Structure 1
Amino acid sequence: MVLTSTATHPDEKDQSLNSTFASRYVRDPIPKFKMPEKSIPKDAAFQIINDELMLDGAPRLNLASFVTTWMEPECDKLIMASLNKNYVDMDEYPVTTELQNRCVNIIANLFHAPISEEETAVGVGTVGSSEAIMLAGLAFKRKWQTKRKAEGKPYDKPNIVTGANVQVCWEKFARYFEVELKEVKLKEGYYVMDPAKAVEMVDENTICVAAILGSTMTGEFEDVKLLNELLTEKNKETGWDTPIHVDAASGGFIAPFLYPDLEWDFRLPLVKSINVSGHKYGLVYPGVGWVVWRSKDDLPDELVFHINYLGSDQPTFTLNFSKGSSQIIAQYYQLIRLGFEGYKNIMENCLENARVLKEGIERTGRFNIISKDIGVPLVAFSLKDSSQHTVFEIADHLRKFGWIVPAYTMPPDAQHIAVLRVVIREDFSRGLAERLAADIEKVVKLLDTLPSPLTTKVAHITAITSETSEKVKSAIETQKEIALYWKRLVDGKRLGAC
């Protein structure tokens, strides 16, 4: 590569005659934590950063992530063309605002929101599901507080009931906005929230029960319909009106296409809000999320800011102010480009590739599959025998083949279960599924030839203990010899004195 930039300093005048990797900018280290004193050519800056980024994992082989890693070139062009648009400038970019509103309405209709054709859905685009959950949680908290104040009751100890398998963003919401998080513990063989136990934990201070449509642990959908039934009965008995929020970050763009008859959304009366990640199975690069409410009544108006939008009111409810427009535009592209048929085909293909991988893993005879058939297309599996080797060793060895497969322990009270999880995304082909299954089998066979880390550790401890024991024995013998020497010396002096 040849540098073509114009020299900006006298000592750079001959840089264009040198190759990039022979230039002093690439050979000499750049300060990591301070701004350099002088500018460097754009080619050199690019090369320095690009070289470091080569050490990152390959996104398409990152099977830990639910996040989209591939989009069509036409969408890439739209993204690049809109990178310099600040979404918050609604007066300047009215079309982008219109596209966001269209996405909200498409998603709300996909989730069976009870709105007429003349009505506009209530929702907003967010920076991933984390912001979406923060907004939904704030709406529940404010509605609960307003009602408690009107009733003359304390309103300083709100809580949310969830399963212990919730994503960390729920813990963030609870900590940041001073809400107690009451978690239903898991158990071996049942890795999602038990609706009955969740309803038992509901009290007068519960602002909502959060159900997950697609647990990050196993991909399983929680039983929102049963939760709705049990919570309806409790509300009747107590006079409360505890609502439900569905965290459909992973499953919101899966269930409508693979399981259309599954009732989990606004078809259930207590479901007041739903969040979904556009950058997961919404098939958009990170980071974009969406949150929609059942109706205007479920979003307190005091949380909504109203700005003038070309002579008309434009309500906005976000935690962020400035943010890019490109992901919103990309989401609209996917929704109209693929349509219901396209999303359905992609999700069916993901499910089929998950089946291929699952069968390949089962053929090894070494694993238990713990993910369910109905849920996010992923495969979660644990070792049948972990006495010699662990899933963490398997994950480490798979990296040598290029695969990034996460290994982790389950939340309380199932933390003694350790699993591997492979997320099947749109760009994970059948060929890759077959290759991964073959590589997993190779790793297992390789580990069979290696000593167990536990055995090695025990042997190491035994060796240290044995060595220490010998040293202790030697020291004791030495002490005995010293004592005998002094005894003889003292006895000899005594005899001499006599």
Structure 2
Amino acid sequence: MQNRCVNMIAHLFNAPLEENEAAVGVGTVGSSEAIMLAGLAFKRKWQNKRKQEGKPYDKPNIVTGANVQVCWEKFARYFEVELKEVKLSEGYYVMDPAKAVELVDENTICVAAILGSTLNGEFEDVKRLNDLLVEKNKETGWDTPIHVDAASGGFIAPFIYPELEWDFRLPLVKSINVSGHKYGLVYAGIGWAIWRSKEDLPEELIFHINYLGADQPTFTLNFSKGSSQVIAQYYQLIRLGYEGYKNVMENCRDNMIVLKEGLEKMGRFNIVSKDDGVPLVAFTLKDPHNFDEFQISDLLRRFGWIVPAYSMPPDAQHITVLRVVIREDFSRTLAERLVADIEKVLHELDSLTAKIKMLSGTSSVTVHEVVKDNGQVVVAKKSALETQREITAIWKKFVLDRKKLNDKMNGVC
């Protein structure tokens, strides 16, 4: 079943296979293990070539964008590879192919492109990266390859953007990873690593065992693992087929547009995600002076939503983003409900902000009227300290009420 899944996914990614030729790939524990395996293959191929040329092979590096998932940092640290990151910039939250190619040197084992950034779902321009790298390889005599981290986008692009060139149609793309437990529609724990050809996976990394009844080549970091996710992936591929996956992905995209348009109508947010990427909506406040995205995320929990808020990587770390990922079970009704709940949260935060501004917007000494027991009205002065205490009391009550509601929702006595 695993081999059949590998073959189907390889054909989906346009691997240049001859008729009846088996694809090269393996099921993994998520895309993290798949990335580790692909990185090891690149490192070993680079080292073997450097040894043959009589050159140093102790300082490999890999070029990525600063928006890569943490598993790339793990690979670099665990397997002693320098990670050279292309910094982001405000308004451009993926790796710039031109800047990436500038960082490539003779020690670069590969350039990693992302098809579906975790931060905003955007597809990086793998085609442009390939073209620029082809030119640099011609100029330098190097053969720096590309790995595509398609953890999120690998099960999206082939179905709703079939003309987009990002996969094995590009000559420098030598391996691709994809997560079955994201848009492959399988529960958590399954990823896939696919290589362009046998030549791209060094033979010395493959182990052959026969104590299970036949020769079984294996190239994984984990050996003993459950088969349930592989069975589920095989079932989904067979059950849904191309048209089934296409319908699911188109529906996700349609519901994403409903959510995006609902947020845009509020006039309070900037949308930083793209319509032609992973079906998600990433958005940031136009005016974050009164409250921020973290407070919105926190208050949405009251309505049962978990909407993460996070800061962008360098050099866009001053940008804070909220992100909603649209999966196959996120209906149009849920999208409309989320928009309504976000409006409620904004109204609550606006009311709280106005109350605080009313108290803190006065001078250091405020004047107010006091009615004594005898009904006499006198003028009294309130110190700045007293005003601050009132503000603090309002915030404490706000936080306490919120905690009580959260505890009630979670069944805490």
Name the TM tier (shorter chain): 0.7 to 0.9
Whether contact under 8 Å (1:389, 1:452) holds in the other structure is no
Normalised to the residue count of structure 1, the TM-score between the two structures is 0.72
- Give the conservation status (yes or no) of the 8 Å contact 1:405–1:421: yes
> Given the alignment of the two structures, is residue 372 of structure 1 paired with residue 274 of structure 2, yes or no?
yes
Q: What's the counterpart of residue 395 of structure 1?
A: 297
Instruction: Quote the offset at 1:452 in angstroms.
Output: 7.6
Question: Which residue is equivalent to 2:135?
Answer: 233
Superposition deviation, residue 466 in structure 1:
6.8
Report deviation, 1:327.
0.3
Contact 1:360-1:437 at 8 Å conserved across structures: yes
2:388 corresponds to: none
Tell me the TM-score normalised to structure 2 length: 0.86
Report if aligned partners of 1:388, 1:454 keep a CA contact under 8 Å in 2.
Answer: no
Q: 1:147 aligns with which of 23, 39, 49?
A: 49
Is the CA contact 1:358–1:379 (under 8 Å) kept in the aligned structure 2? yes
CA distance in 1, matches of 2:259, 2:196: 38
1:279 counterpart residue number: 181
Q: Deviations over 1:79-138 (max 9, x none)?
A: xxxxxxxxxxxxxxxxxxxx0000000000000000122210000000000000000000
Q: 1:457/1:281 Cα in 2 relative to 1: closer, same or farther (>3 Å)?
A: farther
User: Offset of 1:456 from its aligned partner?
Assistant: 11
Distance apart, 1:314 and its partner CA: 1.9
Q: 1:127 to 1:239 in 2, by over 3 A?
A: same
SS at match of 1:421: strand
| 1:307 positional shift | 1.6
2:250 match? 348
C-alpha displacement of 1:321: 1.5
1:252 aligns with 2:148: no
Q: What's 1:494 paired with?
A: none
**Contact residue 141 and residue 207 of structure 1 kept, 8 A:** yes
- Partner of residue 23 from structure 2, selected from 113, 121, 125: 121
Aligned equivalent of 2:200, options 292, 298, 305: 298
Aligned pair in 2 of structure 1 residues 352, 159: CA closer, same or farther (>3 Å)?
A: same
Measured against aligned partners, the alpha-carbon deviations of 1:50-101 in whole angstroms (never above 9, x if no partner) come to xxxxxxxxxxxxxxxxxxxxxxxxxxxxxxxxxxxxxxxxxxxxxxxxx000
| Residues 1:318 and 2:220 aligned together | yes
Q: Distance in 2 between matches of 1:380 and 1:300?
A: 40
Query: Structure 2: how far apart are the matches of 1:358 and 1:338?
Result: 28
The CA deviation at 1:458 is 8.5
**Secondary structure of the corresponding residue to residue 176 of structure 2:** strand
Structure possessing the higher relative contact order (Cα contacts under 8 Å, 6 or more residues apart):
1
Alpha-carbon distance between aligned partners in 1 of 2:158 and 2:137, rounded to the nearest angstrom: 28
Residues 444 and 181 of structure 1, relative CA distance in 2, 3 Å threshold: same
Moved more, 157-166 or 113-122: 113-122
Q: Residue deviations 1:187-219, cap 9 Å, x none?
A: 000000000000000000000000000000000
Give the whole-Å Cα distance in 2 for the aligned partners of 1:466 and 1:356. 47
2:339 aligns with: 437
Query: 1:91-170 alignment to 2 at 5 Å?
Result: 99-170=1-72
Q: Does 1:200 align with 2:102?
A: yes
Report the count of equivalent residues: 367
Task: Evaluate the alpha carbon distance shift between residue 433 and residue 155 of structure 1 in structure 2; reply closer, same or farther with a 3 A threshold.
Answer: same
Deviation at 1:311, TM superposition (A): 6.0
Offset at residue 186 of structure 1 (A):
0.2
Rounded Cα–Cα distance in structure 2 between residues aligned with 1:453 and 1:182 = 48
- State the Cα distance separating 1:247 from its structure 2 match: 0.1
Identity %: 80
Q: Relative to 1, partners in 2 of residues 1:232 and 1:452: Cα closer, same or farther, differing over 3 Å?
A: farther
Give 1 or 2: higher strand fraction: 2
Separation (CA, whole Å) in 2 of partners of 1:454 and 1:317: 61
Question: Distance in 1 between the 2:52 and 2:303 partners?
Answer: 62
Report the CA distance between 1:309 and its aligned residue.
7.2
Partner of residue 69, structure 1: none
The SS at the match of 2:147 is strand
> Structure 2 vs 1, CA of residues 339 and 454 (structure 1 numbering), >3 Å: closer, same or farther?
farther
Measure how far apart 1:308 and its partner are. Answer: 2.1
Deviation at 1:451, TM superposition (A): 2.4
Deviation, 1:442, is 1.2
CA distance in 1, matches of 2:214, 2:29: 25
Query: For residues 83 and 267 of structure 2, what CA distance do their matches in structure 1 show?
Result: 40
2:353 match: secondary structure: coil
Kindly tell me: are residues 363 and 287 of structure 1, through their superposed partners in 2, closer, same or farther at Cα, counting changes over 3 Å?
Answer: same
List per-residue Cα deviations over 1:293-315 (Å, max 9, x = no partner). Answer: 00000000000001227764321
Cα distance in 2 between the residues matched to 1:329 and 1:457: 62
* Structure 2: runs of 5 or more not aligned: 366-382, 386-413
2:114 pairs with 196, 206, 212, which one?
A: 212
1:446: Cα distance to partner?
1.3
Quick one: which of 252, 255, 262 aligns to 1:360?
A: 262
1:162 aligns to what SS in structure 2? Answer: strand
CA RMSD of aligned residues (A): 2.0
Distance 2:235 2:223 in 1: 23
Rg larger in structure: 1
Q: Which amino acid aligns with 2:338?
A: L
Distance in 2 of aligned mates of 1:310 and 1:355: 50
The aligned amino acid for 1:251 is G
Inter-partner Cα distance in structure 1 for 2:306 and 2:251? 21
| CA gap 1:446/1:310 in 2 versus in 1, 3 angstroms | closer
Equivalent residue letter for 1:153:
K
How far, CA to CA, are the matches of 1:139 and 1:327 in structure 2? Answer: 24
Alignment deviations for residues 333-385 of structure 1 (CA, whole Å, 9 cap, x no partner): 00000000000000000000000000111111100011011100000000000
Separation in 2 of the partners of 1:421 and 1:333? 30
Q: Could you tell me how far apart the structure 1 residues matched to 2:54 and 2:310 are?
A: 46
Partner Cα distance (1:285, 1:417) in 2 = 32
One-letter identity of the residue aligned with 1:169: C
Q: Name the counterpart of 1:381.
A: 283
Letter in 2 for 1:384: K
Corresponding residue for 1:488?
Answer: none
